[in-house]
Amino acid sequence: MSPPSTLDSAPVPLADCHLHFEGCLPAAEIQRLAARARHPFADPAVFETARRAVRDAGGFLLLYAEVARLFARPEDYVAAALAVAEALAEDGLQYAEVYVSPEIFTRIGLDRAACVLAIDAGFAEALETRGILCRILFDAVRHWGPESADRVLDLHEELRLPSVVGFGLGGDENSLPAAAFAGPYLRARALGLRTSVHAGEWAGPEAVRDVLDCLRPDRLDHGISAVQDPRLLARLAEEDTILCVAPSSNLQTGAVGGVGAHPLRTLLEAGVRVTLSADDPVLFGTTTSGEYRMAKDKFGLDHAQLRQLADNAWHAAFCTKAEREAGLKKGREA
């Protein structure tokens, strides 16, 4: 089983609902893939320099694409998924929801179904060997349009993997309006998938409002620009909309200007239900437990607040009732 993470010396069973597959790869796995591809990222110093150079959304998306192109064949994803899960387990996670973008596989010339099946196999092995339960969120890339989103759902209908529990929308949130994806979101719910949307990270509060009105997701990733609109902030609290917030991501991509400008405490004080997420740990130099340490050390959250954030992640998760209750029980007994 996974070792517990430690927050103020109390073991907390962590769940993270906002992670991206390629961004979760351990650095050693990136270097292994890069060495085979004769890519400069085989040198840890080169990769670290590229990671630290990210200052905005565009730079982040370019780096993410560069890492994704290191894969050469579907079977690479079995070992990669196992490596991802093992790294998350080592950080103390018992449950993780990881965004997988099938259209990326197509664009790098690989069979998307084979790649997804390989990731599923790697996660299944990790459950047996490390006791961490990793679920898949199928991710549509916003700037590739609603037709691309429908192709992702076509794949879900083809595979019907039990490990795929949700459907989300990532990518450049300034590229297309939320309303363009109303059809795919209706279809995703009809297929039994839970839904999430990246919104309010690089765009303003109007983007959050449009997502809520047009797509009606179960939860939001980021959502931090909502603090600019008091009425929207009150709505999030009243409707108990969960925000999966990733402070390190927000800081490195320039979504906020610094720790002092980050709205985490404002969201909490407004009564919004928030979770902490690592988003893309290898690209932002963080971990899920690292986000909790940041919340304690940089934002001044106390032990009770940290425990509430950890509990919120289990409430946000698209897992079964039994899986959720087991995780919360361990948290209460810690």
Q: What is the dihedral of CA 107, 110, 115, 118, to 10 degrees?
A: -150
The domain made up of 5-333 is a member of CATH 1.20.200.10: no
Q: Of residues 97, 103, 201, 291, which has the active-site annotation? A: 201
Which CB contacts under 8 angstroms, 24+ apart, belong to 317-322?
317/15, 317/17, 317/95, 317/97, 318/17, 318/97, 318/135, 318/137, 318/165, 318/166, 318/194, 318/218, 319/15, 319/95, 319/133, 319/135, 319/165
Does 201 participate in catalysis according to the annotation?
Answer: yes
Q: CA–CA separation, 137 vs 307, rounded Å?
A: 25
Q: CA–CA separation, 136 vs 127, rounded Å?
A: 13
Instruction: Indicate the domain borders of the chain.
Output: 5-333
User: Tokens standing for 147?
Assistant: 């037709």
pLDDT in tens, the chain (334 residues): 445 555 654 447 899 999 999 999 999 999 999 999 999 999 999 999 999 999 999 999 999 999 999 999 999 999 999 999 999 999 999 999 999 999 999 999 999 999 999 999 999 999 999 999 999 999 999 999 999 999 999 999 999 999 999 999 999 999 999 999 999 999 999 999 999 999 999 999 999 999 999 999 999 999 999 999 999 999 999 999 999 999 999 999 999 999 999 999 999 999 999 999 999 999 999 999 999 999 999 999 999 999 999 999 999 999 998 888 776 666 556 5
